[in-house]
Amino acid sequence: MKFYDIIVVGAGIAGCSVAYFLNKRGLNVLVVDRAGVAVAGGSSAAGAFVSPKIGKGSSLQKLTNEAFEFAKDFYKEFFPKHFKQTGVVRMPKDDEDAQKFFEYAKYNSSVYQWLEENRLKEIGIKESNRSLFFTEAGICDAPNMCKALLTGIEYVQYDVKSLSYEDKIWSIGEYKSKKLILATGYENRFFDMRYMGVKGTWGTRGDYETKLSLDVSMHKKISISANIEGIVKVGATHAKEAHACLNCGADPLKELFTKASDMVDTSDFKAKGIFCGMRSGSKDYFPLVGSVIDVPLMLKEYPKLVRGERLKENPKKIDNLYVINGLGGRGFVFAPLMGKMLAENIVEEKAIDSRVNPDRLFLKWCRKSPELER
Ligand SMILES: Cc1cc2nc3c(=O)[nH]c(=O)nc-3n(C[C@H](O)[C@H](O)[C@H](O)COP(=O)(O)OP(=O)(O)OC[C@H]3O[C@@H](n4cnc5c(N)ncnc54)[C@H](O)[C@@H]3O)c2cc1C
C-alpha cells in the first residue's frame, strides 16, 4: 500500500500542470494515467500552439489572454527546451474578417505587430490581407513538456476503473491519498458531473518532414508551425461529438494539407505522422477548476432546485475531490494558470476564480436540464 497527499488521475497537460504546482508546494503527489504521459487524449494530438485569443474583449477572451501571458512566461522561464517562441501570425479568414481585425487590435493586450503582404511573403506566408503577428506566442513540444512538468513527481501507468473514499482516504487499487484530482479530459465517468456539460471534440494533426525555411508559426482556419528540426506541424480538424474510436485514416490529413498549401509552400512536404485525440470543452467554454458538487445529495436535499428554487447556501461538495478540465482548444494556454490556481486553492485555501469555478453551472443545469424530472 502506498500513501500520498494527493493523487492526480490523468497525465495530460492539465494533470501535469497541477501536479507541478502541488509538488512545488511540498505535497507528495502521485500522477496516474492509463496510457502514459501525454500519449493519449487531447494532449498527445495537440499542435500545442500557445497564442492569444483575438476578439472584441469578451470575458472569455480576457481570461484566455491572462492565461496566455502567464503560460508563455512560465514555459519560457522554467521549460525553455520545450517551448519555442516562434511568434504566431494570425491571418484573417477572408476579406470580411480582415475588416474585423482593425477592431480586434483595439481589444488586444498582447505584444503584436501588423504584417503587410510583402513582409508576409518574405517570411514564406501566402496571404494578401494585413495580419497580426504576436511575437511572444509560440509552440510547445507537448509530450516532452508534460514529461518535464512531472520531473521529481511519482508517476504510474494505471487504468482507474473504480475508486473509493472511506475514513477520509481515497483508494485507487493499492494507491491511497487524502485528496484526489480528476484531470481525465473528456471522460467523466466516476461521479455525476453532468452539470459541467463536458463534451468532446475530436481532432487530427499531421506532422510533415520538409526543408522549407519557415521561422514563424501561423493560424488562419488551421494552424501551421514554424519548421522545428525539419518538422512542420499542421492542425487541426474538429469533429464535435465524434466517437473517440473513430478511425481517421488519412482523410482528415487531405483536408489539412489542402488548406496548408494555400498558406505556405508544401511542395516538398512528406507526411511523417498523424495524431488524433479528443479535447474536452465545458458548456460555456470556460475551464472547469475546483471542487465537485455532490449532485445526488443536493438533488435529494433540495428537490425544488429543479423547479427554480434559489439556494441560500453554498452547494455541498464531495469531500477532498477536485477537477481540472474543460480547457477546450487551448489546453496549453490555460493549463499553467489553472494548475496554479487549483494548487493555491488546495494548499493555501485561496478561492477559485468564479469564472472557472464549476459551481457557476450547477443551478442552471438543475433548472434547465432535460435529464431531470420536474
Ligand atoms: C488535434 C488537436 C489539436 C489541438 N491543438 C491545440 C493547440 O494548438 N494549442 C492548445 O493549447 N491546445 C490544443 N488542443 C487542445 C488541447 O489538446 C487540450 O485542451 C488539452 O490536451 C486538454 O488536456 P487535458 O489534460 O485536460 O486532457 P487530455 O490531454 O485528454 O488528458 C486526459 C488524460 O486522462 C487519462 N485518463 C482518462 N481516464 C482515465 C482513467 N480512468 N484512468 C487513467 N487515466 C485516465 C487519459 O489517458 C489522458 O491521458 C488541441 C486538441 C486537439 C485534439
Q: What is the pLDDT along the chain (374 residues), one digit of tens a residue?
A: 799 999 999 999 999 999 999 999 999 999 999 999 999 889 999 999 999 999 999 999 999 999 999 999 999 999 999 999 999 999 999 999 999 999 998 899 899 999 999 999 999 999 999 999 999 999 999 999 999 999 999 999 999 999 999 999 999 999 999 999 999 999 888 999 999 999 999 999 999 999 999 999 999 999 999 999 999 999 998 888 777 765 666 778 888 999 999 999 999 999 999 999 999 999 999 999 999 999 999 999 999 999 999 998 999 999 999 999 999 999 999 999 999 999 999 999 999 999 999 999 999 999 999 999 88
Q: Check whether residue 193 and residue 209 sit in a common domain.
A: no
Q: What is the pLDDT of residue 248?
A: 66
User: Which H helix or E strand runs over 117?
Assistant: helix 117-123
Pick the atom of ligand 1 nearest to 44's CA. 29
Phi, psi of 292 (to 5 degrees): -115, 130
**Residue 305 belongs to a domain:** yes
Task: Tell which residue, 27, 26, 25, has the closest CA to residue 3.
Answer: 27
**Residue 253 belongs to a domain:** yes
C-alpha 273 – ligand 1 centre gap (Å) = 18
Pick the atom of ligand 1 nearest to 160's CA. 42
Q: Cα 280 from chain centroid?
A: 8
C-alpha 338 – ligand 1 centre gap (Å) = 14
Total domains, the chain: 2
In contact, 322 and 342? CB cutoff 8 Å: yes
CA-to-CA distance for 64 and 77, rounded, in angstroms? 20
CA-to-CA distance for 343 and 112, rounded, in angstroms? 32
Q: Check whether residue 290 and residue 363 sit in a common domain.
A: yes
Pick the atom of ligand 1 nearest to 276's CA. 1
* All cell numbers assigned to 265: 509552400
**Residue 115 belongs to a domain:** no
223-224 vs 83-84, strand pairing mode: unpaired
Last residue of a domain, one of 277, 312, 329: 277
What's 266's domain CATH number?
Answer: 3.30.70
Pick the atom of ligand 1 nearest to 12's CA. 25
**Residue 123 belongs to a domain:** no
- By residue range, what is the domain housing residue 166? 2-42+144-198+283-368
Last residue of a domain, one of 277, 306, 332: 277
Q: Check whether residue 183 and residue 212 sit in a common domain.
A: no
* Closest CA to ligand 1's atom 20: 331
Q: Check whether residue 186 and residue 210 sit in a common domain.
A: no
Q: Check whether residue 156 and residue 211 sit in a common domain.
A: no
C-alpha 280 – ligand 1 centre gap (Å) = 7
**Residue 112 belongs to a domain:** no
Q: Check whether residue 326 and residue 194 sit in a common domain.
A: yes
239-240 vs 231-235, strand pairing mode: unpaired
What's 309's domain CATH number?
Answer: 3.50.50.60
**Residue 9 belongs to a domain:** yes
**Residue 136 belongs to a domain:** no
* Closest CA to ligand 1's atom 16: 331
Q: Check whether residue 190 and residue 290 sit in a common domain.
A: yes
Last residue of a domain, one of 242, 258, 277: 277
Q: Check whether residue 230 and residue 251 sit in a common domain.
A: yes
CA-to-CA distance for 263 and 258, rounded, in angstroms? 9
Ligand 1, CB cutoff 6 Å, lining residues: 9-15, 32-35, 40-43, 45-49, 159-160, 183-185, 187, 203-205, 223, 235-236, 277, 279, 325, 327-333
Candidate from 32, 43, 83, 334 with most ligand 1 atoms within 8 A of CB, to mutate: 43
C-alpha 275 – ligand 1 centre gap (Å) = 12
Q: Check whether residue 248 and residue 356 sit in a common domain.
A: no
Q: How many helices (H) and strands (E) does the chain have?
A: 10, 20
C-alpha 188 – ligand 1 centre gap (Å) = 13
Q: Check whether residue 318 and residue 215 sit in a common domain.
A: no
Candidate from 44, 86, 332 with most ligand 1 atoms within 8 A of CB, to mutate: 332
C-alpha 12 – ligand 1 centre gap (Å) = 5
C-alpha 42 – ligand 1 centre gap (Å) = 3
CA-to-CA distance for 108 and 134, rounded, in angstroms? 10
Biggest CA-to-CA distance, the chain: 68
CA distance to 76, 227, 265, 305, 334, per residue, from 221 (Å): 27, 19, 17, 42, 21
Q: Check whether residue 149 and residue 270 sit in a common domain.
A: no
How many C-beta atoms lie closer than 10 Å to residue 231's C-beta? Answer: 14
| Residues facing residue 134 across a β-bridge | 88
Q: Check whether residue 304 and residue 189 sit in a common domain.
A: yes
**Residue 359 belongs to a domain:** yes
CB burial of 283-302 (b: ≥16 within 10 Å; e: otherwise) equals beebbbbbbbbbbeebeeeb
